[in-house]
A and B are shown apart, each in its own frame.
Chain A
Amino acid sequence: MTDAAELQARTRALLAAHPPATTDRTEFLRARFDAGLAWVHYPAGLGGLDAPRALQAVVDAELAAAGAQDNDPRRIGIGLGMAAPTLLAYGSDEVKSRFLKPLWTGEEVWCQLFSEPGAGSDLAALGTRAVRDEATGDWIVDGQKVWTSSAHTARWAILIARTDPEQPKHRGITYFVCDMTDPGVEVRPLRQITGEAEFNEVFLTGVRIPDAHRLGEVGDGWRVAQTTLMNERVSIGGARIPREGGMIGKAAGVWRDRPDLRTHALHRRLLDLWVDAEVARLTGERLRQQLVAGQPGPEGSAMKLGFARLNQAISGLEVELLADEGLLYGDWTMVRPDLVDFTGRDAGYRYLRSKGNSIEGGTTEVLLNIVAERVLGLPPEPRNDKDVPWKDLAR
């Protein structure tokens, strides 16, 4: 059993062998992975040491104190939060050792080819086809995906496709790893509300995927996707933030710096939101403490819902607070950014981009359904799509 003292010693040995000040960032990250200090709860040889997840904090604190560079979790969020746990749970040994290391070091970025024009909240309705080539055993994929974040920077994708249209929708889906450099993959920027193209349309035409890149059984892709989606929702709330650490700090800063902009009505709203933000911070802290104590609660879904509402309300207030400046917008040029940067941008961008927080990763409405049914145990709504073959569904 690996304990805190041992991890501390291992971290110090890593730092001694690869001093952060003089070591190339990627080289340092590779060494960290090889030392089992990337994600300590992962298996030995795959970046971890089979240690309790809570002990990652010990390693991170040591590394932060030594000024070591991190692997930029925001830029590789989809790989880290969603692809990795799914690869770990369903990948073969070869798949795991091929993909996990460059995923973690950020040398290979991942994207998620799930949503389609006709399948968003109702993801299981998707129509992208994967047909087996009997001669080679490969899969040939045709279809269209949409709103795919980072497809333009991604080397690999997690993909779900329909392999049996005769089955009811949840039963005919299979899960794959897709090579984004395959000639059949075409990525077109999809401009969004902010003027930028952070997400994309992805057209898949005769894309050939080897059977070795299938995760889980044929037809069992929905279950595999559940692993991905569950991890998507709990991946928030990891880091400790100080009071006023989030977006509220921006609004509070404007309030302090610009007495000329203050009104009584805005003051009330600012204080309401200040309290909400502080309570959200405490809720995140409580969730973290529960995880460390090995008693994870369902509060993870509360975090995502609360974060969306709060970001939207605070950024809206900030635009109003800024008065004439709020009427301006930084830059409408269409660019294809690597990541979402709330704190580095202006209030107008924050206002517009935060509208996506209640849509991406499951809409607020869908997550409220999940809370109501899985946390509170309220009865499901009657459904008429469960036993009908996918090909006969209305669309």
Chain B
Amino acid sequence: MTRQPDLLYSDTEDDLRAAVRSLLADRADPQAVLGRIEEPSPYLPGLWEALAGGIGAAGLLVPEKLGGQGASHREAAVVLEELGRAVTPAPYLTSSVVATETLLALAADSGPAADLLAALASGERVAVLALPFSTAPRKPGDPERRVPAVADAVAADVLLVPRPDGLYAVDAADAAVTRQSSLDLTRPLAVVDTRDATGVRLAGTEAGRAAVRRGLLAGAGLLASEQLGLAEWCLEETVRHTKERYQFNRPVGSFQALKHRMAHLWLDVVGARAAARAAADALAAGAIDAELTVSVAQAYCSGVAVRAAEECVQLHGGIGMTWEHPAHLALKRAKADQLALGSTGHHQDTIATLTDLPSPS
């Protein structure tokens, strides 16, 4: 019999959600986010300190003895739902999930990895994995020394660099980090070149590779929650707008053609919630089918988020196409998230392998 995941939200998770939501309402409303996307850094001043340190969100995955909150992927997923709703520019997924989980997989109680974990858990430092943001958990590929499309590298103090002889921590100041113009304005990409930097070796080849895969797996699993939150926001905004917008002497939301599209979206969101919760719970429990559950969540939620954002733009009409309206922030994030941490195709291939449904030979 399949393991039954816990798919509901606990009271603690609801409290955490409320805290993050109210912080974001105060400091990261759509106008604030829009106001910074063309600045040299899209990150909002003070937000990271409040979120990571103040609320303690950065250390959710880190055990208390290493300076964290000793919570789990379930709680981190709730934070990501909220960050997704607000399309918040914050290096949470990259530092507090992917980099943190990579370091946790090294199982060090002391030494440089443990020290770095403590600094990440408090939010004092930010680390990112120096791999393209599209890297799938199953196939991290051969690491290069000059890596394009590294998400949130511009916010990083430390780069986790996979090299043929092991996994290294490189001080960002010793590397060349060049910002690229990215589709998702709220999660900047950069080319990271660590050819001239030595860094500290955290693990050997095999342990390092396994840790990176683990970090990417947790990232892909929790990305589903970000996509869920984003899709939910798009649906709510679209419902709100179409109830208020009158054309032909009626609210446009009373036309059945639109109602059915929004009802379909609601069905998609209901499914995305079950899938994203299952992935977070499987990661938290270390379930044997965690990899499959993560790929199911990715294969499903990526499409839902993109559809929701595309419908949001379309059903807002002309307003949906304007720079001042946040719909485009959601669309850009959703489309970028579709490729992040493994495309739908990559995850379907993983599912095919894990369920013994092979492609034609």
Contact = CB atoms under 8 A, between A and B. Distances in A.
Interface of A: 240, 242-243, 252, 255-256, 259, 262-264, 267-268, 270-272, 274-276, 278-280, 282-283, 285-286, 289-290, 293, 295, 299, 302, 305-306, 365, 368-369, 371-373, 375-382
A289 B8 CA distance: 7
A305 B242 CA distance: 23
Q: Which 6 A-B pairs have the closest CB atoms?
A: A372-B259, A282-B274, A262-B360, A379-B254, A371-B263, A286-B7
A369 B270 contact: no
B31 to A, nearest CB: 26
Contacts of A376: 235, 239, 259, 262-263, 266
15 contacts: A240-B4, A271-B299, A272-B348, A274-B357, A275-B296, A276-B271, A278-B296, A279-B271, A282-B278, A283-B270, A285-B274, A368-B264, A371-B267, A375-B263, A379-B253
Which applies to chain B's interface (DSSP): helix, strand, loop or mixed? Answer: helix
Given A279-B274, A378-B242, A259 B361 contact: yes
Contact of B273 (A286, A293, A375): A286
A290 B274 CA distance: 12
Given A252-B355, A255-B357, A382 B250 contact: yes
A263 B251 contact: no
A209 to B, nearest CB: 38
Nearest to A379: B254
Contacts of A380: 254
B256 interface: yes
Contact of A299 (B270, B352, B355, B359): B270
Contacts of A242: 1-2
B260 interface: yes
B338 to A, nearest CB: 14
A57 to B, nearest CB: 12
Nearest to A372: B259
Contacts of B300: 275-276, 279
B266 A271 contact: no
B359 A262 contact: yes
A272 B271 CA distance: 14
B11 to A, nearest CB: 11
Given A276-B300, A283-B271, A375 B357 contact: no
B1 A267 contact: no
Interface of B: 1-2, 4-8, 235, 239, 242-243, 250-251, 253-256, 258-260, 262-264, 266-267, 270-275, 277-278, 296, 299-300, 348, 351-352, 355-361
B296 A373 contact: no
B271 A379 contact: no
B4 A377 contact: no
B348 A282 contact: no
A299 B263 CA distance: 12
Contacts of A379: 243, 250-251, 253-254
B256 A369 contact: yes
Given A368-B263, A372-B259, A379-B250, A286 B357 contact: no
A250 to B, nearest CB: 13
A142 B120 CA distance: 77
A216 to B, nearest CB: 30
B239 A256 contact: no
A21 B2 CA distance: 29
B348 A285 contact: no
A256 B7 contact: no
Given A275-B296, A378-B254, A380-B254, A267 B359 contact: yes
Contacts of B348: 268, 271-272, 275
Given A259-B361, A270-B357, A282-B275, A290 B260 contact: no
B331 to A, nearest CB: 21
